[in-house]
Amino acid sequence: MRYFLILTSVSAFMLAGGITLSPGMEAQFVQKITNPKKKVIRYEGRVLMDKGSRFKWRYVKPTEKEVCSDGKRVVVVDHDLEQVSYYRMDRGFDLGAVLKKAKHYKDNLYTARYRGRTYTIAVDAKGRVEQIAYRDDMDNVVNIHLYKLKNFSRPPAVSAFRCPYPKSYDVIGG
């Protein structure tokens, strides 16, 4: 669960030394997490973000899960477990802060050191973030690949970031 919380607080959009981010964006993603024993878990889905603190990650493979945030707390809806969990965001991955520290490495690659962790960021020809890689607190290598990017000139509506769930689901930490 920790890697979901690290991943899910991607929150700010800005311009940082050749890396371009818009007021809002939507993309498909593949997230690969490789543990120290080289076992790989692969997740797929869609992500929606605004330039503020709202985001919604919708995991569709291998399980259905939604992770939404207003910047202060995270809601995880696990449809397979029929469970909803609420968390405070104390230690998240702040993409804006990472990009502020990004330094050009070579070609389309940037590196950034943030909160004791090193991030590698790949951008496309337009300077949009395509890939982010880092090692999490459990020594897993996390690689997030974004594709089919759609940038918005305005942030998406607040309602687009909600994680609805059936009333029959168990709720933890409401």
**pLDDT reported for residue 45:** 97
Q: Which CATH number does the domain housing residue 76 bear?
A: 2.50.20.10
pLDDT at 34: 97
Range of the domain at 73: 2-172
State the pLDDT at residue 96: 65
Alpha helices in the chain (DSSP H): 2-8, 95-100
> Quick one: pLDDT at residue 134?
94
Q: Total structural domains in the chain?
A: 1
3 state DSSP class of 105: strand
pLDDT truncated to tens, each residue of the chain (174 aa)?
544 443 433 333 334 456 766 788 899 999 999 999 999 999 999 999 887 678 899 999 999 999 998 777 889 999 999 999 998 876 555 666 677 788 999 999 999 998 888 999 999 888 888 999 999 889 999 999 999 989 888 888 888 999 999 999 999 986
- In eight-state DSSP terms, residue 53 is S
The pLDDT value given to residue 116? 87
Backbone angles phi, psi at 120, to 5 degrees: -110, 130
Please choose, from the candidates 172, 170, 171, 131, the residue with its C-alpha nearest in 3D space to the C-alpha of residue 149. 131
| pTM higher than 0.95 | no
168 backbone dihedrals φ, ψ, rounded to 5°: -75, -15
